Amino acid sequence: MSAPHPRTHTAIVLVHGAWHGAWCWHRVLPLLRQAGVDSHAVTLTGVGERAHLLSPAVGIATHVQDIIGLIEAEELQRVVLVGHSYAGNLITCVADRLQRSAPGLLRHLVYLDASVPNPGESWSTPHSPDTVAQRVAAAQASSGLSFPPPDASVFGLSGADRDWVNRRQTPQPFRLYQEPLDFDPALVWAVPHSFIDCTRPALPTIDAARRRVRGEPGWTVHELATGHDPMVSAPRELAQLLLRIHHQASRS
């Protein structure tokens, strides 16, 4: 039997945000795959089912390599890369790496209610002093290893959805919270990019990104009238939007 050939169609790779894991895409992945789209979800080191790998060494480079490792292992040749929340920082750094090593592989970057950084900034940079102080203090309780998740109600979830997310969330590695990001914006923004703004309720820590994408050229902005975890609260609407973006990327 001959070895399979690398995949030449356009795939979707989903990257979860803080405290989450690949589990959060449970309602979205089947919808994408039923539409015939090759779709994958990565779990980042130290959270989700990989929480046992949490250590002081887990940083931005670790999570960037998690994503690139999945793309390489699956031999994906054309990718729509989706980053939720904190993972906006990660897909930015992944784009920098892949634009250097495999230009053309990334067909579109989707910032799903996500951080949109500048070089030298960290995940914490756009947050209010109170938010930063609270997270630093929470991390000190674990000797700087991690900080705990918020109640999922802040993501606009209630009832069984809130309970489901609360059961599954795990502490987030802390090192990467204030770690500066190193990337070339000219390389990153050469990849087509979209922002999905989740507006009901709008999570305050994403406000800086919301303003930025509406004030700079090159961005396509979509709105979903749901909370910060649309993969839980509005999976069909999110899947339909991702399929439209995928269709456009496939034709480019």
Q: In b/e form, how buried is each residue of 197-208, taking b as 16+ CB within 10 angstroms?
A: bbeeeebebbeb
**Stretch (H or E) spanning 62:** helix 60-73
Angle between helices 60-73 and 87-101 (to 10 degrees): 60
Q: How far is CA 201 from the centre of its chain?
A: 19
Phi, psi of 147 (to 5 degrees): -135, 145
* Residue 80, beta-bridge partner list: 12, 108
Contact 66, 45 (CB under 8 A): yes
Rounded distance, CA 181 to CA 176, Å?
9
Catalytic residues: 85
Sign of the CA dihedral 224, 230, 233, 237?
A: positive
Rounded distance, CA 1 to CA 230, Å?
42
SS3 state of residue 251: helix
Alpha carbon of 245 to those of 115, 142, 186: distances in Å? 19, 41, 22
Contact partners, residue 239, CB within 8 Å, separation at least 6: 28, 31, 32, 35
